[in-house]
Structure formats: C-alpha cells, structure tokens
C-alpha cells in the first residue's frame, strides 16, 4: 500500500457513521497518521465527528461530516483519497456507493477499499482510475505468497502478544495499537501487526487475514509474527473474531496457532451480551463468560503451543467512570489477572503488568 | 465439474505413486465411479497398481503403471482425462509435469487438477486447451458465492456426521465414503459430502474448503451441510486436517463450527506418531493421544454447538490382523466408544453403532 505523505482521507460512511458497522472509520480517524478531513454521511451532515463518536475521535473531533463528496472537495484542504469507511457483514459493496466512487476517481482521488469486492478487478472502475491516474488499493486482496505454516520458532528475546476477544468489533485492534504505544513510551522497541483492513489503513502494511485461503491462514499468521519480530522486540498482533463465533472462529484459531504468542490479552466489553451483527443468530448469539473464554483460549492454544491469557482489556464505554472502576476491580479479582480499560484510563499500567509477566523469555 | 459417462482417467503420479503424497491417486482409483485406466510413474512402470498399494486399490488392482503418457494413450481403452494424482504440501505445480500436461491437452485429454495452482488461469495452458476443445477443471477454485455462516439449524430428521482425525491423510475421506455406503446398505438415504479435491473427483460435486477465504470457511461448511441434508437423510461430511495441526487446524475448526454435526467420528492410525508431511516440524510434529483429541473436539465444538465423538475409526494397516483386533478392543475399552477398522473389517458394524447412538434426533 502506498501512503504518500501528503495524503488526506475523506471517509465514505453514508448512513452508518457512528454505527458498529463503521468501525473502520472510527479507527482510521483516531489512529491513522494520515489525516481525515471529512466524513460523508448525509444523515449526519453539519455535525462534527466528535459530536457523533465522542472521545473515540481522539484529536480529530473537529472533522466535519458532509452530505456529499462535492462538499468535501470544496474544503480548503480537500481530500486526496476516498476511504470506504464501513465494514458490512460479508464486505459487499452496496449499489448506491458506486456513483460516489466514480465521482471520486473522476476528481483524481485514490480509492482505499477494505471490502471483499476488489474494485481494481471491475473494468469500469479500473478504466475510470486510469483516466486520472488515481490508484485503487484493495486491501483485502490476499498476498500472492502461499504460506504453509512450518513451525518456525520466535527469534530470541522477542515477545509476541496476540489480542483476542469475546466478540468481533470489541476493540482488539485498538488495544494492540495502544499497547504498542505504551511499550514505546516505556522505551522499548514495539510494533503493532495489522491483520485486518482498518489496521492496514492505519499502519500502512499487513495482511487482511480473513481473505486468505484456509490452507494458508496459519502460514500467513506465522509470517506476520515473523515480520513483527523483525520490526521490533515487542510485536502486538491484532486478533480477529472470537473462538465461540459461529462465523469467524476459524480465523481466530488461525491467529492463535499460527502466531503462537507468548501471551494473549483478552478484550471484552462489559454489558455486551450478544455477538455484534449476529444478534439474529438465535442460540449462537450469546457471548460466553470471560472465564469460559480464558479456559477455551488456553486449552486451544496448548494443542499446538501453550500460551496464557496474561491480561484483560475492558471496553467500559457502556458505564460511567465509577462503575467502570468497580467492574475492572471485580474482573481483576475474579480472574486474578491484570485488568484495565486501556482506552479510557490509558494503556501504560496494563502494559507494565504484561511486561512484568513476560519480560523473562519462556523456557525454550 | 462435468463428469461425462465415458470418461476414463490416467493419473499422473510421477515418482510418488504409493507415497503419502499420492493419496488423491489412491482415493480416486478405489472409490471413483470413473475408471482409472493407467497411472504414470516411471519409477514403478511395468508393475500394477495392486502391486504397489495392495488392497487399497479395491477392484482396480490390475490397472497398469506406465512410464509415459504416450504409453497410456496406446492402451486399447485410452484415457480421456489426465488427473493430477499427488497433493504436495502447498499444492504447487512442480516444473517437470508441465510438459506432460501440454502433451495431454494436445492429445485432447481433459485436465482434472486439484492443486492450488489454477491451470485455466495460465494463458499457455488455456490456449492449448482451446486448440483441442479440452476442458480444464481446477477443483480448488473457490465458489464465487461468499457465504458467511448464519447459524442455520439442521432440517428435521436429518443426521449430519463429521469425520475428524488425529492427523491429515489419516483416512477421514475414506471413512465418510464407507459409512455412507454402509448406511445405504442398511436401507437409509445417505450421502458423502466432499470438502476436498479428491472427494470432488470421486463424488462429482463439493467444495475444496482449504482454498476458501477465512471469512467464508464456516459459511461454506454450513452450505455444504445444508446441501448434504437436501441430498439425503444421513450426510457424512469429509473432515480436514486435525485440531492440533500447526498448519491446518483452522480448517478443521471451520468444519466443526460450520457444519455443527450431530456426531463426530474420530479417525486414527495406530502406530503413527508424527504428523504426516510435517515430520520436520520438531515440537509440533507429535500426534496427541486419542483421549486428548476426544476432549479437544468436544470442548471446541461446544463453544458453538455441543457435539460428541460417537465412534472411533481406526486404520490398522501397520499391524497384522490379530494385532489389529487387539488394538481395536483396547481402544474401545479405553474410550468406551464403538471402535473398528472400517476399511479392513467393513464399515457396517461401525455404522450400526453410530446409528444406535444418533437415531433419535437431539432435542431442538
């Protein structure tokens, strides 16, 4: 993925900004070094990003929400790239967006696409891009490498941490980013390893693992861990899905058995009771308890390489601050594990606790 | 996949016939309704198939092994299709085979390819096929459907059985085929559901699930189970890999969580101690015990939908008949489960035991 220094994003999130399905938009606004200059969502036009998503906009709460691409192009610092900002189930392109993508290409904007549909394979879109020299970046296109896991061992002195979770869209990416930042603040060499399209937009590299073929899932996860170890001493790998998810558990497992982490950080949102976007899936919708998740992750990891859950990262956004602290203390007491909300209260204490547990390399 | 009634296979297994890597050849020779008329392997030319693989050739032990495609074409009943008969790790095409494939296309033979490399995407091979009107069937090409699992429930009165195993290449496909045959012999409506390229060659439909992208693995498994239920009352789904496999466990899990079987049949080869083709993967090579596998399968299934291992199918080919019976009795006693070698001693008793356990539909 090219990432020109002068790039500025406009994020297309029509009708969905602030919803769970726009987690890509939220992540890019908050974490990407490339600035977002506008969000397109006609249902919320005139408001600012911060009005809708609050503190999770980070320093970019002032970014305007506009109704049309034309309004974004009329800004004093217009965007140079259109980023598809929602991640619907299945990643399919909805028909009404197509015109906006053509308009963006006609205006010379690059397209940054994390959907399962590859725009560069669409002859009309490809032709439109050629006309203005715009690039189309299909982040979910799998690497041409066909990596079968070969059981490589970690490099000496490295620490590989995988974020796992009790659900999709629970904060695994953000926790990995925050912990890597905390490690760097502690004077360590640290990197975040993107395994999804949003983190790729933020970090500028990685693989969207959910689009890799079954035979190569674990080999690609292994390659990503190796790449993280080459980049830094502490590699925080973004997890995907959850082990009890009717649709996505195999991708979760591939990251556990492929990266074979020194430790796992379990991410959970207290108060969430059913799997996001799968509320309709009756008997499979209910989230399992933290305890069940800890046992399942450790049992399943040990089938290939033992690994422990070394910390719990909570997203306490459904509760006020006092209640959040109460929940954190309760879960810490119940699990005996370092527990905190790294978004709300900062990731440094949680990273320090993880470091204390993992600073000594496990016996070979 | 088209499967003309008059088709006859020649199987290319140069240098590998009879090896573990030629399990596709072995399965097609034994189980496919399409006859194999010759195997190409210059290192064993002049012998018969039965000379090399013994009883696992079934009724086709007399099929000749020849040194060249030309020799196969000179047979009284020459082949009409060239089938790639080995499944190397990663499925890549080895260079020396390319000339034989061109020769086959030039002679008008169709190509049946289960490798990860898609021949129809190769401009030279595609052009050669057009010249003679031959077809190229790339069985691992994933379906264009993008199926996300939606938690469908089984149809009333149906039984879905998944074969699982302690390793790759241990007999999961053959056990599914044998059990479906036994169910039909018992007067029931039964089908085998192919999830790999060899079974697709044998049954004429299915999906090679290891080539499906991560997000769609469980949705495709769910679709395959639904398709099996539409075809028959008893659907025996071919399992893949093993839950403790450093490279393939995620595909195994996808089949468990996607098909949500009423019961699992665990396939094991007594005497096998390390994972096939992964002998070099040091600490991850060792097979886990049957007991560990039973517990792992039931624990992991229950994360989405409870399912039990209802029988053990052994491949006792490393032992003589008396020792085989002793091992079967020992494992039956240790596990408390119906145990047999359905290849060696016939699948009917094992199917009868499975039927006794599953004939009553589980409570909804």
What six digits make up the tokens of A117?
């549909």
Examine the domain organization and report whether B214 and B330 are in the same domain.
Answer: yes
The pLDDT, as a whole number, for residue B360 is: 61
A49 lies in some domain: yes
Q: Give the pLDDT confidence of A38-57 residue by residue, as tens digits.
A: 999 999 999 999 999 988 88
Contact criterion met (CB below 8 Å) for B317 and B267: no
Measured CA to CA, the distance from residue A338 to residue B134 in angstroms comes to 64
Examine the domain organization and report whether A222 and A95 are in the same domain.
Answer: no
The pLDDT, as a whole number, for residue B95 is: 63
Contact between chains at A218 and B281 (C-beta distance less than 8 A): no
A150 lies in some domain: no
Give the residue on A whose Cα is nearest the Cα of B299.
A296
If DSSP codes are grouped into helix, strand and coil, which group holds residue B209? helix
User: Does the pLDDT value for residue B66 go beyond 80?
Assistant: yes
Examine the domain organization and report whether A168 and A118 are in the same domain.
Answer: no
Contact criterion met (CB below 8 Å) for B111 and B134: yes
B231 lies in some domain: yes
Give the residue on A whose Cα is nearest the Cα of B242.
A303
Q: Give the pLDDT confidence of A7-42 residue by residue, as tens digits.
A: 999 999 988 898 877 888 999 999 998 999 999 999
Examine the domain organization and report whether A21 and A126 are in the same domain.
Answer: yes
Contacts of B91 in chain A (CB under 8 A): 146, 215
Measured CA to CA, the distance from residue B128 to residue B122 in angstroms comes to 10
CA dist list (Å): A289 to A29, A286, A318: 31, 10, 17
Contact criterion met (CB below 8 Å) for B88 and B12: no
Contacts of B149 in chain A (CB under 8 A): 246-247
B166 lies in some domain: yes
User: Does the pLDDT value for residue B3 go beyond 80?
Assistant: no
Shortest CA gap A76–chain B (Å): 40
> Domain with B129 in it: what CATH number?
3.40.50.720
> Domain with B168 in it: what CATH number?
3.40.50.300
Contacts of B333 (CB under 8 A, 6+ apart): none
Examine the domain organization and report whether A206 and A320 are in the same domain.
Answer: yes
Measured CA to CA, the distance from residue A166 to residue B284 in angstroms comes to 27
User: Does the pLDDT value for residue A70 go beyond 90?
Assistant: yes
The pLDDT, as a whole number, for residue B352 is: 97
Region B28-52 average pLDDT:
94
**Helix (H) or strand (E) segment spanning residue B308:** strand B308-314
Give the residue on B whose Cα is nearest the Cα of A88.
B148
Measured CA to CA, the distance from residue B257 to residue B307 in angstroms comes to 10
Give the residue on A whose Cα is nearest the Cα of B245.
A304
Of the candidates B73, B61, B68, which has an alpha carbon nearest to the alpha carbon of residue B12?
B68
User: HEC states along B119-181?
Assistant: HHHCHHHHHHHHHHCCCEEECCCCCCCCCCCCCCCCCCCCEEEEEEECCCCCCHHHHHHHHHH
Measured CA to CA, the distance from residue B152 to residue A102 in angstroms comes to 38
Mean pLDDT score of chain A, rounded to an integer? 91
Examine the domain organization and report whether B190 and B331 are in the same domain.
Answer: yes
A331-337 long-range contacts, CB within 8 A, separation 24+: A331/A270, A331/A290, A334/A290, A334/A291, A335/A290, A335/A291, A335/A294, A337/A294, A337/A309, A337/A310, A337/A311, A337/A312
Split at pLDDT 50, 70, 90, the class of A266 is very high
Region B254-265 average pLDDT:
98
Contact criterion met (CB below 8 Å) for B245 and B238: no
**Domain final residue pick, A109, A138, A167:** A138
User: Does the pLDDT value for residue B216 go beyond 90?
Assistant: yes
Phi then psi for residue B232, to 5 deg, are: -165, 170
Measured CA to CA, the distance from residue A39 to residue A30 in angstroms comes to 13
Region A245-261 average pLDDT:
97
The pLDDT, as a whole number, for residue B364 is: 47
DSSP assigned state of A314: E
B293 lies in some domain: yes
Q: Give me the sheet containing B234-237, strands edge to edge.
A: B190-193, B234-237, B159-165, B263-268, B308-314, B339-340
Phi then psi for residue A235, to 5 deg, are: -115, 115
Give start and end residues of each alpha helix (H) in chain B. Answer: 23-31, 49-53, 69-73, 97-106, 123-132, 172-185, 197-203, 214-231, 249-259, 290-302, 321-335, 342-345, 348-358
What six digits make up the tokens of B309?
């291992």
Mean pLDDT score of chain B, rounded to an integer? 91
Split at pLDDT 50, 70, 90, the class of B58 is confident
Contacts of B248 in chain A (CB under 8 A): 214-215, 218
Split at pLDDT 50, 70, 90, the class of B209 is very high
Examine the domain organization and report whether B120 and B194 are in the same domain.
Answer: no
Shortest CA gap B337–chain A (Å): 23
Examine the domain organization and report whether B275 and B167 are in the same domain.
Answer: yes
User: Does the pLDDT value for residue A247 go beyond 80?
Assistant: yes
Split at pLDDT 50, 70, 90, the class of B47 is very high
Q: How many residues does chain B have?
A: 364
Of the candidates A301, A217, A236, which has an alpha carbon nearest to the alpha carbon of residue B244?
A301
Contacts of A246 in chain B (CB under 8 A): 149-151, 218, 257, 304
The percentage of chain A sitting over the pLDDT mark of 70, rounded to a whole number, equals 93
Of the candidates B127, B30, B40, B122, which has an alpha carbon nearest to the alpha carbon of residue B81?
B40
Examine the domain organization and report whether A341 and A262 are in the same domain.
Answer: yes
The pLDDT, as a whole number, for residue A85 is: 79
Helix A321-335 vs helix A290-302: crossing angle, to nearest 10: 40
Q: Give the pLDDT confidence of B82-134 residue by residue, as tens digits.
A: 998 775 544 456 566 888 999 999 999 999 998 878 899 999 999 999 999 99
The pLDDT, as a whole number, for residue B1 is: 44
Q: B54 or B359, which is more confident?
A: B54
A364 lies in some domain: no
Contact between chains at B303 and A116 (C-beta distance less than 8 A): no
Measured CA to CA, the distance from residue B28 to residue B25 in angstroms comes to 5
B145 lies in some domain: no
Shortest CA gap A171–chain B (Å): 19
Split at pLDDT 50, 70, 90, the class of B5 is low
Examine the domain organization and report whether B223 and B82 are in the same domain.
Answer: no
Helix A214-231 vs helix B214-231: crossing angle, to nearest 10: 170
> Given the structure tokens 């409506």, which residue do they identify?
B189
Examine the domain organization and report whether B65 and B165 are in the same domain.
Answer: no
Give the residue on B whose Cα is nearest the Cα of A302.
B244
**Domain final residue pick, A138, A172, A187:** A138
If DSSP codes are grouped into helix, strand and coil, which group holds residue A276? coil
Q: Which of A218, A288, A303 sits opposite B296 (nearest CB)?
A: A303
If DSSP codes are grouped into helix, strand and coil, which group holds residue B317? coil
User: Does the pLDDT value for residue B341 go beyond 50?
Assistant: yes
**Domain final residue pick, A108, A138, A168:** A138
Q: What is the span of the domain harbouring residue A83?
A: 9-138
CA dist list (Å): B347 to B61, B184, B195, B272: 21, 11, 21, 22
Examine the domain organization and report whether A330 and A191 are in the same domain.
Answer: yes
The percentage of chain A sitting over the pLDDT mark of 90, rounded to a whole number, equals 78
B199 lies in some domain: yes
Q: Give the pLDDT confidence of B289-334 residue by residue, as tens digits.
A: 999 999 999 999 999 999 999 999 999 999 999 999 999 999 999 9
The percentage of chain B sitting over the pLDDT mark of 70, rounded to a whole number, equals 93
The interface predicted TM-score of the complex, written ipTM, equals: 0.88
Q: Give the pLDDT confidence of A287-344 residue by residue, as tens digits.
A: 999 999 999 999 999 999 999 999 999 999 999 999 999 999 999 999 999 999 999 9
Q: Which of A90, A151, A213 sits opposite B246 (nearest CB)?
A: A151
Split at pLDDT 50, 70, 90, the class of A1 is very low
Number of domains composing chain A? 2
Contact between chains at A215 and B284 (C-beta distance less than 8 A): no
């Amino acid at each position: 993925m090219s990432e020109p220094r002068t790039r500025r994003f406009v994020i297309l999130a029509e009708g969905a900004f602030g919803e769970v399905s726009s987690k890509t938009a939220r992540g890019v606004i908050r974490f990407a070094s490339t600035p977002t200059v506008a969000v397109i969502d006609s249902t919320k036009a005139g408001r600012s990003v911060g009005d809708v998503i609050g503190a999770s906009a980070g320093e970019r709460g002032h970014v305007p929400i506009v109704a049309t691409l034309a309004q974004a192009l009329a800004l004093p610092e217009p965007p140079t790239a259109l980023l598809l900002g929602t991640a619907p189930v299945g990643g399919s392109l909805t028909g009404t967006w197509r015109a906006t993508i053509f308009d963006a290409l006609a205006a010379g904007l690059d397209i940054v696409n994390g959907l399962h549909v590859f725009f560069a394979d669409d002859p009309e879109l490809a032709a439109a891009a050629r006309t203005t020299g715009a690039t189309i970046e299909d982040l979910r296109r799998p690497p041409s490498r066909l990596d079968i896991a070969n059981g490589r061992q970690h490099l000496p002195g490295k620490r590989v941490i995988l974020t796992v979770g009790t659900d999709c869209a629970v904060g695994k990416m953000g926790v990995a980013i925050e912990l890597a930042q905390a490690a760097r603040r502690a004077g360590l060499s640290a990197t975040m390893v993107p395994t999804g399209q949003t983190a790729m937009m933020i970090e500028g590299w990685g693989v969207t693992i959910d689009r890799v073929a079954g035979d190569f899932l674990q080999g690609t996860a292994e390659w990503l861990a190796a790449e993280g170890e080459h980049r830094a001493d502490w590699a925080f790998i973004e997890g995907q899905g959850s082990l009890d998810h009717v649709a996505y558990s195999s991708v979760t497992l591939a990251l556990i058995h492929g990266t074979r982490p020194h430790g796992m950080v379990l991410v959970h949102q207290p108060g969430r009771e059913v799997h996001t976007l799968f509320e309709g899936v009756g008997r499979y919708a209910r989230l399992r308890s933290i305890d069940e998740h800890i046992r399942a992750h450790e049992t399943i990891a040990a089938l290939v390489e033992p690994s422990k859950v070394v910390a719990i990262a909570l997203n306490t956004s459904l509760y006020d601050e006092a209640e959040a602290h109460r929940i954190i203390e309760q879960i810490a007491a119940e699990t005996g594990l370092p527990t905190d909300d790294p978004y709300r209260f900062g990731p440094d204490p949680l990273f320090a606790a993880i470091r204390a547990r993992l600073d000594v390399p496990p016996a070979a």
